[in-house]
Amino acid sequence: MAQSVPRTPTQSAAQYSQQAEKLSLATSNDDPSETSSTSTAVEAKFITPLDPVIVLADGNRLPAVPPAEAAKLNKLKNDMEGYNHSRRRLSSQSTESRIGAEDAVPGCTVKSESEWLDESSLNEPSARLAAAVPPSRTHPLFPPLPLYGPPSMLRNLQCKALRFSSCILSLAFLGVIVLGSAFTSIPLMFQHIGLRLTFRNPDARRPFHQEEVRRKSARRQAEREWTRQRKRRRSQSEEGSKELGQLQDDFQPTEGGPDRLMCDVGYYARRVGLDVEEFKVQTEDGFIITLWHVFNPTEYVPCSADARGHKSPNVFVDEERKAHSYQRKQYTDGSRRYPVLLVHGLLQSAGAYCTNDDDSLAFYLCKAGYDVWLGNNRCGFEPKHTTLDYYDPRMWAWNIRQMGVMDLPALISRVLLETDFEKLGLICHSQGTTQTFVALAKEQRPDLGNKISVFCALAPAVYAGPLIGKMYFKFMRVISPAMFRIFFGIHAFIPFMMTMHRLLPGTLYGAMGYRVFSFLFNWTDARWERDLRDRMFQFAPVYVSAESMRWWLGRECFARHKCILATREEGNAEDAEDEEAEQQREEMEEAAGRGGQEEKERMAWYNDQAPPFALWIAGSDDLVDGRRLLRRFQRGREPYVRLVHAKVIEEYEHLDVLWAMDSIEKVGREVRDVIWKTASEEARKICRIPRGFEEEEGMELVSS
């Protein structure tokens, strides 16, 4: 490699200005009335060694860029200021937590900073959008994010061309899926008609048919009673209403009548005597995401609108948390609520935890005595960023790693700020578990584990299930990254789904949504309360990036390796080891001695900062393979992970852990108890004991 020629301060200043403009919000050629020096890139802040964000002159942030480009900006800035940092590391993180260590990800070589900066290609401007095409061969676990740069006439034209092509082709893809779901429904329809013609009730075969009938009757009776008492409530004196509101344990509904199928968690909370306030949270790369707080209105007064707004992008600022004492003014020690954060799955919002009336996990935990917070990932129902707009491709340049290392810490930090606790209980479903497992990895943000008292994973999505081999998923895996962009664009993934969500009546949209998702993911509503099914699909789908879906289904990512933190070769090695006889495996481990333990620690995904884990695995889940993850923990491949609870529910499918009619009995109560048992002694002294909790001896691994 040729030795680089030292730059003079003048040369460094010119190159720094060029690189800063390349990474800025807008170029100097734009309309001066729409841009200013405040939108210029100043430096790169490395959240992790592979996740730099750009800091603008006004303090705002731009999303992650390729690490080489970020390192070059910082290097030129230091050269311009006369500071030599040729041996300076990318971040202050320890060598153990840097993914640049080659043994951190076997088979992956990450270039050092000097190697990045010596590449001649980095000195060439990349004004054309074609330069941002992801390479055909990518990082074995996470693909590099493309660099789009500030807007220009050429880039805008190319973006419009890709939006047009993806609109046509993605709609055609969606149409094929809809037709496939319709054709597979025909046999079920004829079977249903045949049973009706022979005077049999097809619903009688459902596992909870009698309970469904009872609940439906009770719900209709409650709706009629609400209508009859509405006038009576209006005539009540104001003082009488206040006395009624002071009954803390009654959870008097403040909404009622027929279900209006609204995409509003507050509406469904008020139907069961609770309420919701909405917070806005800023991530470290400038996205504004939504956090819902579920509360009992008889004992908590919501914050002001200003207090619920987004704050600085910095996370876990202890001084700010100690000064923020709004909740402490309402709860005294001994009656405080222990905080729990719930995070949703792919193509869903956190409203998925609020669709089953009192059997909703969020409402159940709130009534049990927890302080419940519902976290939504970036974009969701309302894509919002501090500086970028919807049509800027940089708004959508993110995947599962950014959701894990930026969205999740921002949500946890805000909950701890509002509640003034050191830790919280974290509950995630499906993709929510993925982003958490990624974020806690020793190469990402392992220190996040110090803020979590227990991580409850529902239907954990770490290993792929057999469904990944379906034809429509294979299509997305075999096309090249460039072709993926042509089909699905560089913005939101099939945004037409959101348009239909807004335009179609709730009943029609719910029926179509269920049929399409059932066809795609091979699940049924057999264990759900069918009378509420349309409500369940009011909170899905949401906006996700095409880049994120490429991570899940593209040719070099999850669909290829079938694991979120291990390559396909490592997965094959695990399979071979699992096939060995238990006795032989134990003999090999004993003979290996300390060397074998060191090898396990080297190959482990997590270090000693990992929080306790608890798993609830759907035994009939074709989408993900939770049993394989359980085997990894049980066979000691993660020596630092403490598995406090594990349960396989054989009859459950992927969404049954949330929506099955007996999910509270089989999942919710255990989640309630596990969170309380793993909370610190200090927290338990100042918090109320969850309603229905029964103390048990020890914390044993439960596997069925």
pLDDT at 306 over 50: yes
What gap in Å lies between CA 558 and CA 554, rounded to an integer? 7
pLDDT at 697 over 50: no
Please state the rounded mean pLDDT for residues 514-536: 93
Place of tokens 């003048």: 10
Please state the rounded mean pLDDT for residues 104-133: 46
Please state the rounded mean pLDDT for residues 182-211: 88
Place of tokens 């709730």: 506
Segments making up each domain of the chain, as ranges: 9-125, 284-566+605-686, 567-604
What is the β-pairing status of strands 41-48 and 51-56? antiparallel
**Beta-carbon count within 10 A of 189 CB:** 10
261 three-state secondary structure: coil
Kindly state the greatest CA–CA separation across the chain: 90
What gap in Å lies between CA 397 and CA 408, rounded to an integer? 17
Contact 675, 643 (CB under 8 A): no
Question: Which segments within 556-605 are labelled E, that is strand?
Answer: none
8 burial via Cβ count (<10 Å: 0-12, 13-18, 19+): exposed
Q: Which fold has domain 284-566+605-686?
A: Rossmann fold (3.40.50)
What gap in Å lies between CA 244 and CA 322, rounded to an integer? 35
More confident residue, 120 or 472: 472
pLDDT (tens digit per residue) in 670-687: 999 999 999 999 999 999
Displacement of CA 437 from its chain's centroid (Å): 11
Residue from 217, 218, 192 nearest 205 by CA = 192
Place of tokens 């049929």: 515
Provide the pLDDT for residue 324: 65
Contact 159, 391 (CB under 8 A): yes
Helix (H) or strand (E) holding 658: helix 656-659
Spatial CB neighbours of 362, under 8 Å, sequence gap ≥ 6:
294, 342, 350, 353, 354, 372, 374
pLDDT at 362 over 60: yes
**What amino acid occupies position 247?**
L
Contact 621, 650 (CB under 8 A): no
Q: Average pLDDT over the chain, rounded to whole?
A: 84
Choice among 87-101, 207-221, 468-482 with the minimum mean pLDDT: 87-101
pLDDT at 230 over 60: yes
Q: What is the dihedral of CA 177, 178, 179, 181, to 10 degrees?
A: 90
Strand partners, 463: 563
**What amino acid occupies position 174?**
L
In 203-252, which residue ranges form alpha helices assigned H by DSSP? 209-235, 238-245
Provide the pLDDT for residue 577: 74
Confidence of residue 263 (pLDDT cuts 50, 70, 90): very high
Residue from 494, 478, 394 nearest 63 by CA = 394
Encoded tokens for 487: 């089909």
What gap in Å lies between CA 67 and CA 48, rounded to an integer? 10
684 three-state secondary structure: helix
Please state the rounded mean pLDDT for residues 102-123: 41
pLDDT (tens digit per residue) in 491-519: 999 999 999 999 999 999 999 999 999 99
In 420-526, which residue ranges form alpha helices assigned H by DSSP? 431-440, 471-478, 481-488, 496-503, 506-521
Provide the pLDDT for residue 239: 45
Q: What is the dihedral of CA 480, 486, 492, 496, to 10 degrees?
A: -120
Per-residue CA distances from 71 to 67, 75, 88, 483 (Å):
6, 6, 11, 30
**What amino acid occupies position 21?**
E
Place of tokens 């609770």: 274
Percent of the chain with pLDDT over 90: 58
Confidence of residue 454 (pLDDT cuts 50, 70, 90): very high
Confidence of residue 104 (pLDDT cuts 50, 70, 90): very low
Contact 341, 426 (CB under 8 A): yes
Count of residues for the chain?
704
Provide the pLDDT for residue 235: 56
**Beta-carbon count within 10 A of 573 CB:** 14
Please state the rounded mean pLDDT for residues 320-344: 80
Place of tokens 């734009």: 30
Spatial CB neighbours of 142, under 8 Å, sequence gap ≥ 6:
50, 399, 400, 401, 551, 557
253 burial via Cβ count (<10 Å: 0-12, 13-18, 19+): middle
Q: What's the pTM?
A: 0.89
Q: What strands lie across the sheet with 61-62, from one edge to the other?
A: 41-48, 51-56, 61-62
Active site residues: 430, 621, 654
What gap in Å lies between CA 557 and CA 141, rounded to an integer? 6
Provide the pLDDT for residue 99: 34
Choice among 85-99, 460-474, 632-646 with the minimum mean pLDDT: 85-99
75 three-state secondary structure: helix
pLDDT at 24 over 80: yes
- Residue 237 is classified by DSSP as -
Residue from 651, 653, 641, 660 nearest 701 by CA = 641
Choice among 157-171, 179-193, 251-265, 688-702 with the minimum mean pLDDT: 688-702
Percent of the chain with pLDDT over 70: 81
pLDDT at 118 over 50: no
What gap in Å lies between CA 22 and CA 26, rounded to an integer? 9
Spatial CB neighbours of 498, under 8 Å, sequence gap ≥ 6:
381, 492, 541, 542, 543
Encoded tokens for 653: 């499918």
Provide the pLDDT for residue 236: 55
Choice among 99-113, 139-153, 399-413 with the minimum mean pLDDT: 99-113
Confidence of residue 78 (pLDDT cuts 50, 70, 90): confident
> What are the φ/ψ torsions at residue 226 (nearest 5 degrees)?
-60, -45
Residue from 468, 297, 267, 460 nearest 366 by CA = 297
Q: Which of 60-64, 122-126, 447-451 has the highest mean pLDDT?
A: 447-451
Choice among 191-195, 272-276, 326-330, 408-412 with the minimum mean pLDDT: 326-330
Displacement of CA 392 from its chain's centroid (Å): 22
Provide the pLDDT for residue 107: 38
41 three-state secondary structure: strand
**Beta-carbon count within 10 A of 670 CB:** 17
What gap in Å lies between CA 690 and CA 692, rounded to an integer? 6
Encoded tokens for 465: 């299930």
Q: Which of 550-559, 599-608, 674-683 has the highest mean pLDDT?
A: 674-683
What gap in Å lies between CA 47 and CA 268, rounded to an integer? 37
pLDDT at 272 over 70: yes
Residue from 392, 412, 372 nearest 289 by CA = 412
Residue from 675, 672, 356, 341 nearest 531 by CA = 356
Residue from 135, 145, 118, 131 nearest 50 by CA = 145
Contact 42, 20 (CB under 8 A): yes
